[in-house]
Amino acid sequence: MNIVTNLKEWKTIRQSLNSKTIGFIPTMGNLHDGHLSLCEKSKADNEITVVSIFVNPTQFNQKKDFANYPRTVDLDCKKLDVDFVLLPEKNEIYFDNYEIQLTETNLSLDLEGQFRPVHFTGMLTIVLKLLNLIHANRAYFGEKDYQQLLLVKKMVEALFIPTEIIGCETIRAEDGLALSSRNSLLNKNQREKAKLFPQLLNSNLSAHDITEQLISLGFKVDYIVEKWQRRLGAVWLDDVRLIDNFRLC
């Protein structure tokens, strides 16, 4: 596995790979089995697999949230079994001081966009930069962040980017909680309560009744809605925010 920290070095490497099919997984690190499942899918589909690890400051609403995001690069690299890991530096990614931004004006205003107003502009901007750097045949995203997946697909289509965006099924813990880097922020009691969120979200109850039950259990609910043939939810357990979704039958 090759670890690349310099974008000039990566561009030289990328030119040497022109005859290979390339799969790409963009991450912010603190990798779990969900990320690794994307890597396995990419390795099955492509000759070369590239993973990026970059905690992107522009998609965080609060500086505290950015500061507290788990950073485990050394452990992440030990978990990975791919061809290349790209570890770009902020000053190279945002050499323009984030003066160029990519904004979507419809889908991004709903749900996550309503509660995290700068998030999707930062997300789309960094994904576009990375796609332009990697020039992958395929890029892999988990369905847990379903609105993000829809926006990335929309961006690629609108900007004629020749990378196929592939959504992959959410990977869950044995108790049903969707795997997420933020789960590591939960203490033991919070982790035990957190499993009730996917259980209720995937129940036969109405969105209103799910909301009421979650509130009674001590969750703060941002939204429980049904759209895009999914039931989607976002909740807080104290200062930890969880999102999830399930396909409607």
- Alpha helices, H only, 61-179: 63-68, 73-79, 90-93, 112-115, 119-134, 146-158
Judge contact between 84 and 53, C-beta under 8 A: no
Of 54, 48, 5, 1, nearest to 26 (Cα)? 54
Which of 32, 35, 135, 208 is catalytic? The answer is 35
Radius of gyration of the chain (CA): 18
Separation in Å, CA 175 to CA 152, 190, 217: 29, 13, 17
Structure tokens belonging to residue 178: 């969707």
Map residue 116 onto helix, strand or coil: coil
Q: Which residue has the tokens 């697909």?
A: 153
Separation in Å, CA 150 to CA 68, 120, 236: 27, 11, 23
Q: Would residue 35 show up in a list of annotated catalytic residues for this protein? A: yes
Strands (E), the chain: 2-4, 22-27, 48-53, 84-86, 138-142, 164-168, 220-227, 230-237, 240-247
Q: Which residues are catalytic?
A: 35
